[in-house]
Amino acid sequence: MIKRLLIANRGEIARRIIRTCRANGIETVAVYSDADANLAHVREADMAVRLGPAPARESYLDISKVMAAAVSSGADAVHPGYGFLSENTAFAAACTEAGIIFVGPPAKAIELMGDKAAARKLMTESGVPVLPGCDQDIRDDNQLLEEAKQIGFPLLVKAVAGGGGKGMRVVHREADFIEALHSARREAKAAFGDDRVLLERYLSSARHIEVQVFADQHGQALHLFERDCSVQRRHQKIIEEAPAPGLTESQRIAVGEAAVQAAQAIDYVGAGTVEFLFADGHFYFMEMNTRLQVEHPVTEMITGEDLVWWQLCVASGNPLPKRQHELRIHGAAMEVRIYAEDPWQNFMPSSGLLNTLVWPHGNARVDSGYEQGDRVESFYDPMIAKIICHGEDRDAARQKLMQALSTTMIDGIHHNCGFLYQVLGSAAFANAELDTRLLERHAQLMEKPHLQPELVAVAAAAALTDTQPGGDPWQSLNGWRPFARQLQQYELMVDGNGVLVQINVDGHQCGAKVNGEQRTLHWHKDQKQVSLAWGSDTLKAQFIHQHNGVLLNVCADSISISDVDSRRGQQQHGSRHAPFAAPMSGTVVALHVAPGAAVSAGTAVVTMEAMKMEHTLRAPADGIISDLLASIGEQVSEGALLAQFEPGQAEQP
């Protein structure tokens, strides 16, 4: 059995692997970049080795540095996690050559299935249905455009070495193809070091169904049932569940057997996931991920198995812990990915210091890479944690997950908890009306819920006050007045606006005046939650006190309310909403026009990259780009002005 394991990854998945190793007496070695030196996975491992600077190419993606860490630490095995080098053929081969166990499939299997184009060809030859597409390695843009015309639009430009939604672009019109092609190639190069792409017919309405497979070194292979990962943004999963709702038993058996057959066709060993598109009762092969998946916890919860332990057993040469007939589905499980991003601003990546980070307790499993006080940097994927819940059926798991999100408190970065809560609570999701375009079909789910600022201010004041109707004044002298009258006043900053709140308690009667408007107030509060009715409006919020105010969780969205005095004198970021202000901290990767260029509305001007995702800033109207204020490769901060724009009808030469 493996004795000492080097984990060639970071954050959440590194901590997840450490937990299994610790439970089974296996020593662990963490690796880290300069940006991650203080993260929890570094502290929790038995040993830790520095790889290098923050950029992934100089640390986590540098095979020579990772191998040197494995050798110097005396590790007899390496677990790659997911992302980074997990599907890198050269890395798997380097481990084998060094006499170190690679916790994953043979390099040949990674090569076959990690190359999406080769995988498509292999599946076609094996009789597995695939969508129409172009698998050839064509470098000429015009030739690829001709292939695209033959396939027809809409189509998907897809990174050959891709995964996790990186290097993927849906193209609806021929006129948009070249720009999408270049963008996909740049993103693929940055994420995987390989800019090859393939083309594939895009199904506008399909479900994403994947099957967890396992195979050992003794010729045994099986599946641990399927997952539905249809709810996605930017082709990246955000909600996953198991089992997939709505499948007939015959469909479930068929897709499981097909996935096992695909694994056996390439002499697979270890954990893998075979992904399918499911439409009109038919499955189409998409790709095979030759690693552990981000969403593996939902499979663990419905089967009761530890998939990391299975990986370690198989890598050590042991047979699979169970046979197919011994596996059963127990209830349902659901997972959400917590991203450092602003879902209400087109999912812009976010970075910063986690001033407050409180995860749910009780019925939820939380796999997190960060703790309060850590800094989320822009160098890596924006996922900071996963929350997973299990229930006796799908709806029970969904309800538990919503409750878990409503008790999560995050401050210091933008995050998507409120958005996830909104999706989970929608009728479409609750009724399992799933496909990969769910968010497009239900555009209202992408809109930030409206909250009355005055009501939020009253909730914040109620959370801050130590007075309650009928309370003992001797236990709360702040604001106490004789004759059972108490008055507390707060000057709060809500969404950038100052709000004056006065709470007046007269015996068992209570009222709140907000900016001069008086209403009757009823509320109940404990140490974590306040429920109130201000006139006819009601609100329930979790809260936590901060040094300059209070943090509210309203429908899983975090709202930081501070005292106006603590905000006075702070510099305001006036340029943040300018059309060419950087929407997040990141790197400029492309300048599409020259200074002085006349542009029309929608013209691409500047493309930025952060957390392995690209964002293109486009002209909001016809006009002239009078100057470019950034250069390719430059790292800029959120709010930095990247271009000067003069709106109006551009003069033609």
Q: Report yes or no: 471 and 485 within 8 Å, Cβ to Cβ.
A: no
pLDDT for 582? 83
pLDDT for 583? 78
The architecture CATH gives domain 586-647? Beta Barrel (2.40)
Please state, as a whole number, how many other Cβ atoms lie within 10 Å of the Cβ of residue 148.
21
**pLDDT score of 649 more than 70:** no
Superfamily of 132-201 according to CATH: ATP-grasp fold, A domain (3.30.1490.20)
pLDDT tens-digit readout, 199-212: 999 988 899 999 99
Kindly state the average pLDDT of the residues 256-281. 94
Of residues 633 and 66, more confidence is placed in 66
Q: How far apart are CA 206 and CA 172, in angstroms?
A: 16
Q: In this predicted structure, which of 61-70, 254-263, 312-321 has the lowest mean pLDDT?
A: 254-263
pLDDT tens-digit readout, 460-469: 999 988 755 5
pLDDT for 584? 76
291 carries an active-site annotation:
yes
The single-letter code of the amino acid at 446 is M
**pLDDT score of 651 more than 70:** no
pLDDT for 636? 83
Q: Which of the four pLDDT bands, split at 50, 70 and 90, describes residue 362?
A: confident
- 400 SS3 class: helix
Tell me which of 169, 227, 291, 365 is the catalytic residue.
Answer: 291
pLDDT tens-digit readout, 25-43: 999 999 999 999 999 999 9
Of residues 321 and 525, more confidence is placed in 321
pLDDT for 537? 95
pLDDT for 393? 98
Q: Which of the four pLDDT bands, split at 50, 70 and 90, describes residue 413?
A: very high
CATH for 453-566 is 3.30.700.30
Instruction: Please choose, from the candidates 296, 284, 347, the residue with its C-alpha nearest in 3D space to the C-alpha of residue 20.
Output: 296
% of the chain with per-residue pLDDT over 90: 71
Of residues 361 and 572, more confidence is placed in 361
**pLDDT score of 568 more than 70:** no
Instruction: Please choose, from the candidates 189, 181, 266, 271, the residue with its C-alpha nearest in 3D space to the C-alpha of residue 222.
Output: 271
Of residues 161 and 97, more confidence is placed in 97
Q: Which of the four pLDDT bands, split at 50, 70 and 90, describes residue 494?
A: confident
Kindly state the average pLDDT of the residues 361-375. 95
pLDDT for 602? 83
**pLDDT score of 165 more than 80:** no
- The full set of domain ranges for the chain reads 4-103, 132-201, 207-446, 453-566, 586-647
Kindly state the average pLDDT of the residues 194-200. 93
Please state, as a whole number, how many other Cβ atoms lie within 10 Å of the Cβ of residue 143.
12
pLDDT for 2? 98
CATH for 4-103 is 3.40.50.20
Report pTM. 0.83
Number of helical (H) and strand (E) elements in the chain, helices listed first: 17, 39
pLDDT tens-digit readout, 214-239: 999 999 999 999 999 999 988 889 99
CATH for 207-446 is 3.30.470.20
Q: Which of the four pLDDT bands, split at 50, 70 and 90, describes residue 564?
A: low
Round the average pLDDT of the chain to a whole number and report it. 90
Kindly state the average pLDDT of the residues 132-151. 93
Q: Report yes or no: 103 and 80 within 8 Å, Cβ to Cβ.
A: yes
Question: What are the backbone dihedrals phi and psi of residue 98, each rounded to the nearest 5 degrees, phi first?
Answer: -85, 0
Kindly state the average pLDDT of the residues 588-603. 90
pLDDT tens-digit readout, 538-560: 999 999 998 788 999 999 999 99
Write the burial class of residue 287 (CB in 10 Å: 0-12 exposed, 13-18 middle, 19+ buried): buried
Kindly state the average pLDDT of the residues 440-450. 93
Please state, as a whole number, how many other Cβ atoms lie within 10 Å of the Cβ of residue 546.
16
Of residues 496 and 186, more confidence is placed in 186
pLDDT for 553? 97
**pLDDT score of 437 more than 60:** yes
Residue 31 tokens read as 């690796």
Instruction: Please choose, from the candidates 247, 337, 225, the residue with its C-alpha nearest in 3D space to the C-alpha of residue 611.
Output: 337
Q: Report yes or no: 579 and 600 within 8 Å, Cβ to Cβ.
A: no
Q: Which of the four pLDDT bands, split at 50, 70 and 90, describes residue 145?
A: very high
Of residues 576 and 9, more confidence is placed in 9
Question: What are the backbone dihedrals phi and psi of residue 358, each rounded to the nearest 5 degrees, phi first?
Answer: -125, 115
Which residue is listed with tokens 């963008």? Answer: 183
